[in-house]
Amino acid sequence: MSRCAAMLCVLVLGLGGAEMMGACGSIEPGPPGSCPAPPDTPTETETACPAPIEEPCLRYHIPLDGNPSTDVALRSKYIAAFGTACYMSEGGTFDCFYEKWQAACADAVKIAEVAGAAPFDKVYTCQPVVGTDDYTLQVGPDVANKITINYQPAPRQTPLVEVDGVPTEVNGPYRNLSEPKPLGPGNDFYCPRGMVAANGDPIKQRDRILQVNRNAHKGDAGNGEIHSDLAGFKWLCKTTNESCEEVLEECEEPLVLEDPDNKVRPFHPGSIAQVHHVVPMNDKRSCSWGTNSNKNAAVISAKLNRFFTNNNPPTDEVKRLNNAPPYTP
């Protein structure tokens, strides 16, 4: 008996009860004793539809040396040193914001040397400013020589994606659908947003997009399939080998996806169609980012959607979606 068969490789799924998965790394149902594929946690989950409330995204800001908003070379240095904390805002400013003050202070001591100036003295630690959520960091022997790490609203990251050196708006295949209301950063696709079905009932934005996709792919029997808008897209994904060990391999997005409204089971949850935010709902700092614009929507598998979660959209993805013919409303 193989190691794979000897292990209890059974996965109980919440989508329609217990399902036996296929041979190691497969997404098809298989015989007892085989390995399950890693569980695919949906990234688009249904929520209540409360009235939108504009709340600032408070984060810790470090003061940068120089003018990286216009100095591309300096901006690149900060990004190389501090990573995803630093970004261009939709207003054209470049700053670095952090969820945790400890992370902000750890990078703050390196500001001067990254900018090419005399390094800060690193023997000092951040100190809280009494009565505020701010911190100060002494950077030299003089106690007055210090910088302030402010806890303040972080501006929204620009939703434009750099494509061949040009900041580009995402303009996907659902661009011809009428836009929902309200439209804004951080909104999901699970609310009616002012849309109604043919019978006058409210219809969720997600359901509307999936139906438009089905209508475009009706077969001879008149039953619409759901097709991935990124069919053939390849990425590195985690799977299991014959010994049930987790490994990386190249995955490819299928053309036909499982319909989430299909009650017939079993099928692998990673193959279910989901409506994906191309520019994610939240950025790397967990601040609102991508909107629920139909231009920002794409139908892809749950597995690929999980891979994209909260990551900056790849250039290839944006190119393909922007060049795709629009669906007919």
Q: Are residues 228 and 117 in the same domain?
A: no
Q: Are residues 183 and 133 in the same domain?
A: no
Please list, in sequence order, all residues whose beta carbon lies within 8 angstroms of the beta carbon of residue 90, skipping any fewer than 6 positions away.
155, 156, 157, 158, 159, 160
Averaged pLDDT for residues 167-188? 95
- pLDDT top residue among 223 and 95: 95
* Segments forming the whole domain that contains residue 296: 163-323
Q: How far apart are alpha carbons 203 and 180 in whole angstroms?
A: 11
The answer to whether residue 4 is domain-embedded is: no
- Find the helix or strand (DSSP H, E) in which 206 lies: helix 205-215
The answer to whether residue 290 is domain-embedded is: yes
Q: How far apart are alpha carbons 229 and 161 in whole angstroms?
A: 18
Look up residue 156 and give its two tokens. Answer: 């929204």
Q: Are residues 228 and 108 in the same domain?
A: no
Predicted local confidence at residue 268, as pLDDT: 81
The pLDDT-based confidence of 11 (bands split at 50, 70, 90) is: very low
Q: Are residues 250 and 147 in the same domain?
A: no
Predicted local confidence at residue 140, as pLDDT: 95
Q: Are residues 70 and 208 in the same domain?
A: no
Q: How many domains does the chain have?
A: 2
* C-beta separation of 202 from 249 below 8 A: no
Cis peptide before 266 (omega within 30 of 0): yes
Q: Are residues 149 and 168 in the same domain?
A: no
Q: Are residues 260 and 187 in the same domain?
A: yes
Closest alpha carbon to 280 in 178, 182, 185, 192: 185
> Rounded mean pLDDT of the chain?
85
Q: Are residues 110 and 78 in the same domain?
A: yes
> Above pLDDT 70, what percent of the chain?
80
Q: Are residues 132 and 171 in the same domain?
A: no
Q: Are residues 147 and 81 in the same domain?
A: yes
**Is the pTM above the cut of 0.85?**
no
End position of a domain, from candidates 106, 122, 153: 153
End position of a domain, from candidates 96, 123, 153: 153
Predicted local confidence at residue 308, as pLDDT: 93
Residue 238 has pLDDT above 50, yes or no: yes
Please list, in sequence order, all residues whose beta carbon lies within 8 angstroms of the beta carbon of residue 243, skipping any fewer than 6 positions away.
2, 3, 4, 24
The values of phi and psi at residue 143, to 5°, are: -60, -20
Q: Are residues 221 and 266 in the same domain?
A: yes
The answer to whether residue 137 is domain-embedded is: yes
Predicted local confidence at residue 192, as pLDDT: 81
Averaged pLDDT for residues 324-328? 96
Averaged pLDDT for residues 159-171? 96
The pLDDT-based confidence of 36 (bands split at 50, 70, 90) is: low
Closest alpha carbon to 84 in 98, 72, 70: 98
Q: Are residues 88 and 233 in the same domain?
A: no
Q: How far apart are alpha carbons 95 and 73 in whole angstroms?
A: 15
